[in-house]
Amino acid sequence: SLSSSDYTAITPLIEGLQKKYENKNLAISLPSLRMNTHSVDVAVNISGGKRTGFTFAPEAGSQKMRDVINKGVTEEQIIETAEAAVKAGWDNLKFYFMIGLPFETDEDVMAIYELVKKVTYLCRRIRKRVNITASVSNFVPKPHTPYQWHEQMNVEEAQRKQHMLRDAFRGMKGATLRMHPPKKSYLEGFLSRGDELTGKLIELAFVKGAKLDDYRDNFEVWQEAMADLGITEERYLGARDLEAPLPWDIVDIGVSKEFLIRELKKSEEQALTVDCREECAGCGMKKHIKECGSLTLDKK
């Protein structure tokens, strides 16, 4: 689960597992956690005294962009959670960010540096040996999301934004910057928003020599396969018309296209959508699960 700490019974679940399997060498681990002190409490229960790394996913540096993607977390919550983790014994904190998000500006990109700088300064006041790792990936719009119509930034734009961050982080003490390769994200975009030619692309790239090797060894092979098939960057990575049929429309995931369009417009307006456990957002899932829309966090 990408948001394990959202499960309201996570604490008794962990405690129950630890008690039942305490002599069975059971290790429990979680991916990135929500930015709140409850997540720190959950991590403390899981760690059993061991403090390795603590991973958070603010996703964006500026409040504007966190609202755009409906993250629903403030800078104060991010700082509060990081400080709580350090006070609980963690020296290594990892933060996941994305660049290339819809409606992003250069100022939003640089906000990643500003946020990490602030968190690093405050956490190292608590304990000097704390290190913050900022892991920055390149956003790839995916099917069945509000951004399935949005264009993906190209390799050159990704490299430009990464250079901005590298220059900003250079010489910064207590913080490490790691960034996802733009060419890898570029290929991911072709594979994730593809159409009836995607299978042929994968097969042709294989025939031309792309196996299970790293993208750095076969990027040109993929480009050559794309050229042979007439696959263009604009067709796969460019913006798409809201009214145009999409290759993956044949797959019904329960969430309606109308809902995704509403969410896209709310994203542009930086308007948050309430957690559906508190208030039904009308996503369309109710036609598959009749109870959906009436399930809330508190039944009282």
Q: Which residue pairs from 170-176 have beta carbons closer than 8 angstroms and sit at least 24 positions apart in sequence?
A: 172/116, 172/117, 172/120, 173/120, 174/120, 174/123, 174/124, 174/130, 174/131, 174/132, 175/116, 175/117, 175/120, 175/131, 175/132, 175/133, 175/134, 176/131, 176/132, 176/133, 176/134
Q: Residues 151, 223: one domain?
A: no
Q: Residues 129, 208: one domain?
A: no
Q: Is 205 contained in some domain?
A: yes
Element housing 292 (H / E): none
Q: Residues 234, 119: one domain?
A: no
Along the 300 residues of the chain, how does pLDDT read in single tens digits?
667 777 888 888 888 988 898 888 877 777 767 777 778 888 887 776 566 678 888 999 999 999 999 998 999 999 999 999 999 888 999 999 999 999 999 999 999 999 999 999 999 999 999 999 999 999 999 999 999 999 999 999 999 999 999 999 998 999 999 999 999 999 999 999 989 999 999 999 999 999 887 777 889 999 999 999 999 999 899 999 999 999 999 999 999 999 999 999 999 999 999 888 788 889 999 888 888 877 655 544
Q: What confidence score (pLDDT) does residue 300 get?
A: 42
Q: Residues 115, 150: one domain?
A: yes
Q: Residues 29, 149: one domain?
A: yes
The residues, any chain, with a CB within 8 Å of residue 160's CB and separated by 6 or more, are none
Residue 36: give the domain boundaries.
4-189
CB 228 within 8 A of CB 203: no
Q: Domains in the chain: how many in total?
A: 2
Q: Residues 169, 75: one domain?
A: yes
